[in-house]
Structure 1
Amino acid sequence: MSSLAAEFERALDPAAIFTGAGMAADPWQAGVLRSSHPRQLLLCSRQSGKSTTVASLAVHSALYDPGLVLLFAPAQRQSTELFKKVSAFYRALPDVPTPVAVTETKMELPNGSRIIALPGSEATTRGYSAPRLILVDEASRTEEALYGALRPMLATTSTQLDQGRMLCLSTPWGKRGWFYEQWAHGGDRWQRTKITAHDCPRISAEWLAEERKLVGDFIFRQEYLCEFVDTEEQLFPTELIERAVRPAGGPLWQ
């Protein structure tokens, strides 16, 4: 395939960017990349390839939908690690333009696109507006205030013809926080993708059986089966609490 044909294919099919980088996308990864849904939640096992998936999406967006791409994680170290995957993906692609500027946390392309890695703090979002793509890694462990600060950033790119996108990826961290609330109660505003370790062809059943013995059932269910389990220190189960809560507006007792 000629370089021009490969470039055209990558522009039309985000999943083809895996092929261009010398990798093969799992079916679920290709589905996430090809989705046009503006809001996605990825509930994925450890080592399932979720960070690689969104790293490739960041590169595709920067190349073919020029604008601002923001990477968030609970700490700067974690968002910088995601940025390293983005940079590695970009370098693996043939015939892409040389970046105008590259640092440990930022890349700027000749078409004006910028990819910036930031810590997941509400304060770090100030000063950025109208991003084309927001990626939140380890979303279950980011602050509640961050989610509240990110939503308005998409206000000026929320029309059908000019829609900024937001993808939040994580393993569970108990039945708490905004990621859990949006997964469990966020309605159809989100497209949800759940990938357990059993869905990943690179993780063997034998390894998982051994890992379950080593880490215990509680951690295994959370990290590899993607279950929102109650924290061990909870006095009452979350399900019992949610059943006890009545919608506001009516009498507490009849």
Structure 2
Amino acid sequence: MSILARDLTRMLEPASVMRDAGMEPDPWQEAVLNSDSRRMLLLCSRQSGKSTTSASLAVHQALYDPGLVLLIAPAQRQSSELFRKVREVYSALPDVPRVVQESAMRLELANGSRIIALPGTEGTIRGYSGAKTVIIDEASRVDNALFAAVRPMLATTQGRFVALTTPFGKRGWFYEAWEYGEGWERTKVTADDCPRIDADWLAEERRLVGDWQYRQEYLTEFVDTDEQFFASELIEAALTNEVQSLWS
């Protein structure tokens, strides 16, 4: 295939970024990568490939719509890991723009794109604006204030917002968006959906970590935390709007 033909295929079919980097995407990965949705929630099991998928999205954005791509996670170690995936995908691709500047948390390309990894604190990210894509890893553990601080970054670009995570109880903006939000494209991937995870290994893992942890980490269920005294369903059932004001 000629350089021009390969480049055109990559531009029109983003999933080919993974293929050109030497990885065959699972059907759900191909669907996510080729989606034109601007708001995406990825509720995925451990080791399902969600980080590689998001890294490939970031690379495609940087290649074909140059601009700022932000990678955010609750801690710097986590955002660094996602950045490492981005660097691995980019390095494996032939015929890409030259890297003009690189550090442990930043990649700048000759076409003007910047990919920057940040720890997820409101103060850290407020200096950035005009992002083409924002990717939040471990999104269920990112607090509501950070979510509110991120959204204006996309106001002028109409850029893409991608949140990937395993569940972390029935709380927080990710849970609310998944259960009740409008305008989101939702993708759910359990460990049973991943062909690279052995069924016997999963059975042993369930015995080792217990049912509660397994349901959250591998079946991607929003389960109540083990510190809760009352189940969320009981609390919600006790709530009502049919209460008269004490002052009326």
Size of the alignment, in residue pairs? 246
Residues 246 and 252 in structure 1, CA contact (< 8 A), matched pair in contact too: no
Do structure 1's residue 234 and structure 2's residue 238 form an aligned pair?
Answer: no
User: 2 CA distance for matches of 1:34 and 1:149?
Assistant: 27
Among all aligned residue pairs of Structure 1 and Structure 2, give the percentage whose two residues are the same amino acid.
64
User: 2 CA distance for matches of 1:215 and 1:250?
Assistant: 43
Residues 173-182 or 23-32, more deviating:
173-182
Gapped regions of structure 2 (runs ≥ 5): none
Q: Which amino acid aligns with 2:215?
A: R
Gapped regions of structure 1 (runs ≥ 5): 158-162
Q: Which residue of 2 aligns with 1:208?
A: 202
SS of residue in 2 equivalent to 1:132:
strand
For residues 217-242 of structure 1, what are the alpha-carbon distances to aligned partners after superposition, in whole Å with 9 as ceiling and x for unaligned?
A: 01100000000000111111111222
**Structure 1 position 251, deviation (Å):** 3.1
Q: Which amino acid aligns with 1:168?
A: A
Q: Which amino acid aligns with 2:244?
A: P
**Structure 1 position 243, deviation (Å):** 2.5
User: 1 CA distance for matches of 2:133 and 2:237?
Assistant: 36
Residues 44 and 171 in structure 1, CA contact (< 8 A), matched pair in contact too: yes
User: 2 CA distance for matches of 1:252 and 1:23?
Assistant: 61
Residues 97 and 111 in structure 2, CA contact (< 8 A), matched pair in contact too: no
SS of residue in 2 equivalent to 1:189:
coil
Residues 44 and 190 in structure 2, CA contact (< 8 A), matched pair in contact too: yes
TM-score, normalization by structure 1:
0.94
For residues 168-227 of structure 1, what are the alpha-carbon distances to aligned partners after superposition, in whole Å with 9 as ceiling and x for unaligned?
A: 0000011111111111121x3211100000000001111110110111101100000000
For residues 83-141 of structure 1, what are the alpha-carbon distances to aligned partners after superposition, in whole Å with 9 as ceiling and x for unaligned?
A: 01000100000111221101000001111110000001111111111100000000011
Do structure 1's residue 101 and structure 2's residue 101 form an aligned pair?
Answer: yes
User: 2 CA distance for matches of 1:118 and 1:130?
Assistant: 16
Task: For 1:1-16, list aligned pairs within 5 A.
Answer: 1-16=1-16
Residues 129 and 153 in structure 1, CA contact (< 8 A), matched pair in contact too: yes
Q: Which residue of 2 aligns with 1:56?
A: 56
